[in-house]
Amino acid sequence: MLKIKEVENELRDLLGTDKKKHKQTELNKINKRIQFLRTCKSYLEENPSQDFVNSEYCRLKKIINSIRSVERFRLWQISNPSVCADKNERQQWTKYESDNNLKLLRLQLKTLQFIKN
């Protein structure tokens, strides 16, 4: 499992990056990585056990798979006809994912995956 010192070291290295030597796209990637590492650090500050991290990872994976099922999406379409009336299926899927906070769940899963390994 990842140690908080490793995250702090990488954060320190990224924060010490000379911004004048990089293009804007590279700076954007560095800033996203810094934000991700800060999220990981906040998880690790709670000192989770390896069992907890593994169980949360499995739990989130099941939730995400459940949300991404076509059957559940079809049920959502039926229960939200006003949302679905004027949008194509891709727009409906995007709305469905945002209603279920799928972006946040994926970030949590990615964070736990990073901490696990």
- For the stretch 13-22, pLDDT in tens is 998 888 888 8
- Give the chain's domain count: 2
Same domain, 55 and 112: yes
Task: Inform me whether the pLDDT recorded for 114 exceeds 90.
Answer: yes
Structure tokens at 25: 């796209």
Q: Find out whether 32 and 74 touch, Cβ atoms under 8 Å.
A: no
Same domain, 86 and 60: yes
Q: Mean pLDDT for the chain?
A: 91
Same domain, 53 and 85: yes
pTM: 0.82
Burial code (b: 16+ CB inside 10 Å, e: under 16) for 23-60 equals: eeeeeeeeeeeeebbebbeebbeeebeeeebeebbeeb
Round to whole Å and give the CA distance between 70 and 99.
15
Same domain, 31 and 69: no
Same domain, 90 and 37: no
Task: Inform me whether the pLDDT recorded for 60 exceeds 90.
Answer: yes
Same domain, 13 and 1: yes
Same domain, 34 and 67: no
Domain span including residue 97: 49-117
Same domain, 53 and 43: no
Same domain, 56 and 91: yes
Same domain, 16 and 56: no
